[in-house]
Amino acid sequence: YGPKIDFVVKDVIGREWQLGTVQVDYNLPERFELTYKGSDGQLHRPVMIHRAPFGSMERFCGVLIEHFAGRFPTWLTPTQCHIITLGERHEAYANKVADALREQDVRVEVDATDAHIKKKIKIHRKLQPAYIIILGDGEMNSNTVSLRARNGDQVADIPLEQFVEQIKIEIGEKVSQPSLVPTQ
C-alpha cells in the first residue's frame, strides 16, 4: 500500500472517528495483473486509488445520530411532522393537512387515536419529529394548524397554506434547526 489520507471527525462527546479515506494502492494492480497500454505503446502497471468518502455507512450513520442526539434537522428527520387530533371529529381535517404536506414530499404521520392529548404529546415528543401539529375545533374551523416545535415552543393558528409553504422552504434549504416556531 501507498500513501493514505484519513478523514477523522469528533463526535459530540469528543471521541474521534475515522470516516472517509483515500489511499494509493500498488499491491492490488500487481495481484490482479492489471495493465494498460501507455502512449509509448508499452504495457504499464496502474496505480489504484481507493476511496471511501464516508467510511462504512453504519459508522457514518452512528456518528450522525450521536451528533444530533437523535434530534435531526427537519430535512433529515425520518418523520418531519406528527399530526395529533384532539378528538375523533378532527380526523378528516388531520388527513387533509397530511395530504397537503405529503403533496410537498413532507413525511408525516397522523395520530387520530382516542388517547388523551397529554399522552399523545408525550408519546410523539419521544419520537422527536421536527414539529407536532395539534388539531382541534379552532384549527379545523379556520383552516389553520397549531405547532409545537421539538424544543417545546409553540405557536397557534398558522394558516395551513402558509405552514406548508414554510416547511417546504425549510426542508429545501436544509435548515439545521426547526425554525417555524419563534423562540419564547
- The domain ranges of the chain are 4-68, 81-172
> What is the value of pTM for the model shown?
0.74
- pLDDT of residue 184 exceeding 60, the answer is no
Question: 129 with 150: CB under 8 angstroms?
Answer: yes
Contact 84, 120 (CB under 8 A): yes
Distance CA(154)–CA(110), nearest Å, equals 19
Cβ(74)–Cβ(130) under 8 Å?
A: yes
pLDDT at site 98: 98
**Grid coordinates belonging to 119:** 399522552
Separation between Cα atoms, residue 11 and residue 16, nearest integer Å: 7
Q: What is the pLDDT of residue 182?
A: 62
Query: What distance in Å separates the CA atoms of residue 173 and residue 41, rounded to the nearest whole number?
Result: 52
Report residue 41 as a C-alpha cell.
Answer: 505503446
3-class secondary structure, 33: coil
C-alpha 13/C-alpha 21 separation (Å) is 22
What architecture is domain 81-172? 3-Layer(aba) Sandwich (3.40)
Range of weakest confidence among 31-40, 54-63, 106-115, 159-168: 54-63
Number of H helices, E strands in the chain: 6, 10
Phi, then psi, of 153 in degrees rounded to 5: -65, 145
Mean pLDDT of 80-102: 97
The three three-digit cell numbers of residue 111, written as one number: 395520530
Q: Is 23 exposed, middle or buried (0-12, 13-18, 19+ CB in 10 A)?
A: middle
Provide CB contacts within 8 A for 37, sequence distance 6+: 43, 44
